[in-house]
Amino acid sequence: MKISRRRFLQYSAGTLALSTVIGYAGFSQARPIRIGHQLDTTGAVAAFAKWHNKAIDAAMKRLNEQKGIAGRAVELVNSDDSQTNPNVGKEQFGKLVSQKNVDFVIGSVFSGTNIATAPVAKELKTVYFPQGIATSIVGESGNRYIFKSYHSVRAAVEAGYRWALDNLGKRWTIIASDLEFSQSQAQDFAAKVREAGGQVIDTIIVPFRTPDFLSSLNKINLARTDALYQAFNAVDTVRFMPAALEFGLTKRVPVLGLIEGIDVLDVNTAPYEGTYYITSYPRRSDQVASDLTKLDTLYRERVGIGADGKSLDGKEVVPIADLFGSWQALSLIKLGIEQSNWQSAKDTPSFIQALEVNRILKAEEGFPQGEQFLRAQDHLSFHSHYIERVENGKLSVKTRLPEGLYTPSVDYTKEAF
Amino acid sequence: MDFSPFLFQALNGFVWGWVLALIALGLSLVYGITGIINMAHGALYMLGAVIGWYVIQATGNFWVALLVAPFIVGVLGILVEALMLRPLHAQPAATIIATFAVMLILQQTVLMTFGGTPQSIEKPWPGLISIGDRSYPQYRLVVAGLSAALLVLIGIVLYRTRVGLWIRAVRQNPELATTLGIPVSLVYSLVFGLGSALAAFAGVLASPIVSVDHQMGLDILIAAFMIVIVGGLGSLKGALIAALSYSLLENLLSALPGVDPILAKIMALTAMGALLLWRPHGLFGNATA
């Protein structure tokens, strides 16, 4: 069809008028707030990153349906592949800020990348929400530009150790890979066991992604060990647990770990039966406390997670708890912008100061994980934890734990901008 | 004193050595005969495991997967050699880059289709052996046995058959082999295909132990190269001895009190490095190989 000049002008005028009307109905004319996602499309955390991206997208849709933040739309800007590689991730962060003009960045799930990126966030004066959970990210490796709306390893260990010592045993062997995520756990758990009068028989360090776990299992002093703490991520756990069953370990000593080690794994097989996890949210909706069921339904529906904790097609196990970090990062951004009247990058110091108030964040759609406490000094928010155990192939809540508040190792509020 | 930890470690070192030899076998063959440094070896091993996983999902039978996956990967290997590597034969550096590209393509394709989550495969042979108060999975002995059988079979093919004679002739002097009417291009294709199939075979066999994910090839690539180099270019006997001694050394070292598995690995790799300083062409290699 050939379009005449007159027709063209008519169409253009119509489109212009229409878009103006839509614009006024929805958002003000202000530029959208651009949120970058430091996205690992490939590498060890690719399976997690994909779901974080979905969670961010879902949280943004919800915000935009409610007229965005301070009347401005929010917009997701994905980085190129950060490759689960600290150097690449750091570079991608720089590109997000300087080339793609993002205002805030939600970070990689890989702790190594978070640690490498933190100094760049400060240098570029951009607030960064890392999604890895190694303790040092909200400690000595972090800075005033870092906020975390989901636990650190230390908070999880702090929440769970007392229960573990009272119920599983006093003498512990710890087995961990050489990843930052695992080392963080090994050190924090050992410190807590000793502090509580328990005993650490041994800490066994295994190379990340080792193909053969039997020789490492053989190092465990079975005669003296009451319980085993395993600090592996999914790739190692999926090798370690079957080997532990065959070796005869699982039936002799209880095994405890963080949910992060299995949160993309189906636990409905023999190697996982009877194992314990410190978790920060129940995988299955029928395990969620009654005060949170309404929010649970909303969160699962929005992100696309079934009642059994799997994707809606039933093919993948979704790291449901982990995703709160990304969802709630957006809620922190909203809170900070509203409290500080943030307009653009120059207001970032007042944005940070607005969030640097010890504050209870009530359980609501923005914080569906449950009530939490945002601490001023280390910019970390503390939430409930749970002990879950695999029973008949399903993760079942044994107890709900307090939030695992620990003494902060830093005070970012004293740091210059 | 209870010796069962040492006994256990010695057994595991010996058995895992055969598994490593199997993993390195395809690489050794391709490297020794065609001179191609196959960076995609680990990815072909991974692809074998992934195809195996799909076959097991469809048929429920591990042993079917063990036949189907190597066949498919073997055909893929022949195609890769014919279409990608043959034009580059004269340039070893180019084949490294080409096979590296194959590795990346396979890894990313698997990530896109299979996903990033590791998947477990149940052991087709669940029995256990007791060693003191510990138990050892019989399946590993099955894998070691199959590895030994394959090594013998490859040895027979190389030294007792006409095709084996061709292969050895091509390895010694490709130009002369051509003048004698040996189809050199075909030999290269077949050897690369066989090497790929062996990688896939090892991948399927290892998958119940290491589970399946798109990066599993990287875990074994370094060990496989080390074994092939320490063993001496293309020497099957050398590769086997290198695999066994590396695995035994690593396992026995990590049985020592105060030596973590990670330290044992560092020490074993250092020892292998030292061995190369002493014999730069490997245990069974020579300067002209």
**Confidence band of A93 (pLDDT split at 50, 70, 90):** very high
pLDDT at B289 (0 to 100): 40
pLDDT at A15 (0 to 100): 56
With CA atoms as reference, the chain B residue closest to A222 would be B133
Q: Residue B9 carries which side chain, given as an amino acid letter?
A: Q
Query: Cβ of A318 under 8 Å from any chain B Cβ?
Result: no
Q: Is B266 part of a structural domain of the chain?
A: no
What average pLDDT does chain B have?
91
Domain hosting residue A241, numbered range: 154-279
CA distance B209 to chain A (A): 7
Tally of domains in chain B: 1
- Contact criterion met (CB < 8 Å) for A242 and B265: no
- Return the higher-pLDDT residue of A52 and A2: A52
Query: Cβ of B57 under 8 Å from any chain A Cβ?
Result: no
Query: Cβ of B261 under 8 Å from any chain A Cβ?
Result: yes
CA distance A104 to chain B (A): 27
- Contact criterion met (CB < 8 Å) for A47 and B115: yes
Nearest to A299 by CA among A390, A368, A211: A368
Q: What is the DSSP string of A5-45?
A: HHHHHHHHHHHHHHHHHHHHHS--SSPPEEEEE----SSTT
Question: Which residues in chain A have Cβ-Cβ distances shorter than 8 Å to B125?
Answer: none
CB atoms within 10 A of CB A237: 26
Query: Cβ of A175 under 8 Å from any chain B Cβ?
Result: no
- Neighbour-count burial of B74, counting CB atoms closer than 10 A to its CB (0-12 exposed, 13-18 middle, 19+ buried): buried
Q: Is A246 part of a structural domain of the chain?
A: yes
Same structural domain, A179 and A146: no
Q: Is B163 part of a structural domain of the chain?
A: yes
Q: Is B8 part of a structural domain of the chain?
A: no
With CA atoms as reference, the chain A residue closest to B218 would be A209
Q: Strands A372-374 and A385-391, how do they pair?
A: unpaired
pLDDT at B91 (0 to 100): 84
CATH number at residue A46: 3.40.50.2300
pLDDT at A55 (0 to 100): 97
CA distance B127 to chain A (A): 9
pLDDT at B265 (0 to 100): 92
Q: Has residue A24 got a pLDDT over 50?
A: no
**Confidence band of B1 (pLDDT split at 50, 70, 90):** low
State the alpha helices, DSSP H only, in B161-183: 162-172, 174-179
A78: enclosing H helix or E strand: strand A74-78
> What's the pLDDT tens digit per position in B205-255?
999 999 999 999 999 998 999 999 999 877 888 999 999 999 999 999 998
Q: Is B260 part of a structural domain of the chain?
A: no
Contacts 24+ apart (CB under 8 A), A195-199: A196/A161, A196/A162, A196/A165, A197/A170, A198/A165, A198/A170, A198/A171, A198/A172, A199/A170, A199/A171, A199/A172
Domain boundary among A279, A296, A330: A279
Q: Has residue A180 got a pLDDT over 80?
A: yes
Q: Is B188 part of a structural domain of the chain?
A: yes
Q: Is A231 part of a structural domain of the chain?
A: yes
Query: Cβ of A264 under 8 Å from any chain B Cβ?
Result: yes
Question: Which residues in chain B have Cβ-Cβ distances shorter than 8 Å to A219?
Answer: 5, 254-255, 260-261
Q: Is A12 part of a structural domain of the chain?
A: no
Question: Which residues in chain A have Cβ-Cβ distances shorter than 8 Å to B106?
Answer: none
- Contact criterion met (CB < 8 Å) for A219 and B133: no
- Neighbour-count burial of A376, counting CB atoms closer than 10 A to its CB (0-12 exposed, 13-18 middle, 19+ buried): middle
Cα–Cα dist B136/B172, whole Å: 43
Question: Which residues in chain B have Cβ-Cβ distances shorter than 8 Å to A178?
Answer: 262
Picking from B210, B218, B246 by the largest number of A CB atoms within 10 A of its own CB, the best residue to mutate is B210
pLDDT at A18 (0 to 100): 54
Share of chain B above pLDDT 70, in %: 98
Q: Is A236 part of a structural domain of the chain?
A: yes
**Confidence band of A23 (pLDDT split at 50, 70, 90):** very low
Tally of domains in chain A: 2
Q: Has residue A94 got a pLDDT over 60?
A: yes
**Confidence band of B202 (pLDDT split at 50, 70, 90):** very high
Same structural domain, A335 and A270: no
Question: Per residue in A141-169, is it b (16+ CB within 10 Å) or e — as a string?
Answer: bbbbbbbbbbbbbbbbbbbbbebbbeebb
Contact, A105 vs A332, CB < 8 A?
Answer: no
Q: Has residue A399 got a pLDDT over 80?
A: yes
Question: Which residues in chain A have Cβ-Cβ distances shorter than 8 Å to B138?
Answer: none
Same structural domain, A187 and A268: yes
Q: Is A193 part of a structural domain of the chain?
A: yes
Which value, to the nearest 10 degrees, does the dihedral of the CA atoms of residues A54, A55, A59, A62 take?
60
pLDDT at A5 (0 to 100): 60
Question: Which residues in chain A have Cβ-Cβ distances shorter than 8 Å to B265?
Answer: 207, 210
Same structural domain, A93 and A195: no
Distances (CA, A) of B64 to B5, B110, B150: 36, 21, 17
Q: Has residue B4 got a pLDDT over 90?
A: no
Q: Is B198 part of a structural domain of the chain?
A: yes
> What's the pLDDT tens digit per position in B248-279?
999 999 988 889 899 999 999 999 999 999 98
Three-class secondary structure of residue A205 per DSSP: strand
Nearest to B203 by CA among B42, B12, B27, B72: B42
Picking from B19, B120, B121, B216 by the largest number of A CB atoms within 10 A of its own CB, the best residue to mutate is B120
- Return the higher-pLDDT residue of A96 and B256: A96
Q: Is A372 part of a structural domain of the chain?
A: yes
Q: Is A14 part of a structural domain of the chain?
A: no
Q: Is B175 part of a structural domain of the chain?
A: yes
Q: Has residue A318 got a pLDDT over 60?
A: yes
Query: CB-based contacts of B119: which residues, under 8 Å, 6+ apart?
Result: A238, B53, B211, B212, B213
Query: Cβ of B196 under 8 Å from any chain A Cβ?
Result: no
Domain hosting residue B95, numbered range: 19-123+134-216
pLDDT at B288 (0 to 100): 45
Output the furthest CA–CA distance in chain A (Å, rounded): 90
Share of chain A above pLDDT 90, in %: 86
> What's the pLDDT tens digit per position in B141-191?
999 999 999 999 999 999 999 999 999 999 888 889 999 999 999 999 999
With CA atoms as reference, the chain A residue closest to B256 would be A219
Q: Is B245 part of a structural domain of the chain?
A: no
Query: CB-based contacts of B99: which residues, under 8 Å, 6+ apart?
Result: B36, B37, B38, B39, B40, B41, B85
Q: Is A393 part of a structural domain of the chain?
A: no
Three-class secondary structure of residue A310 per DSSP: strand
Angle ∠(B268,B271,B276) on CA atoms, nearest 5: 130
- Contact criterion met (CB < 8 Å) for A47 and B117: yes
Picking from A82, A83, A110, A219 by the largest number of B CB atoms within 10 A of its own CB, the best residue to mutate is A219
Domain boundary among A279, A300, A332: A279
> What's the pLDDT tens digit per position in A349-392?
999 999 999 999 999 999 999 999 999 999 999 999 999 999 99
Q: What is the DSSP string of B197-241?
A: HHHHHHHHHHHHHH-B-TTHHHHHHHHHHHHHHHH-TT-HHHHHH
What average pLDDT does chain A have?
92
Question: Which residues in chain B have Cβ-Cβ distances shorter than 8 Å to A271?
Answer: 120
- Contact criterion met (CB < 8 Å) for A42 and B206: no
Cα–Cα dist B31/B233, whole Å: 7
> What's the pLDDT tens digit per position in A13-22?
665 555 554 5
In this prediction, residues B131-146 reach a mean pLDDT of 91
Nearest to B126 by CA among B137, B136, B118, B117: B137
Same structural domain, A196 and A117: no
- Contact criterion met (CB < 8 Å) for B117 and A317: yes
In this prediction, residues A17-46 reach a mean pLDDT of 74
Estimate the crossing angle of helix A111-123 against helix A180-195, to 10 degrees. Answer: 100
Nearest to A296 by CA among A323, A317, A330: A323
Query: Cβ of A235 under 8 Å from any chain B Cβ?
Result: yes
Same structural domain, A62 and A146: yes
Return the structure tokens found at A99.
């080339």
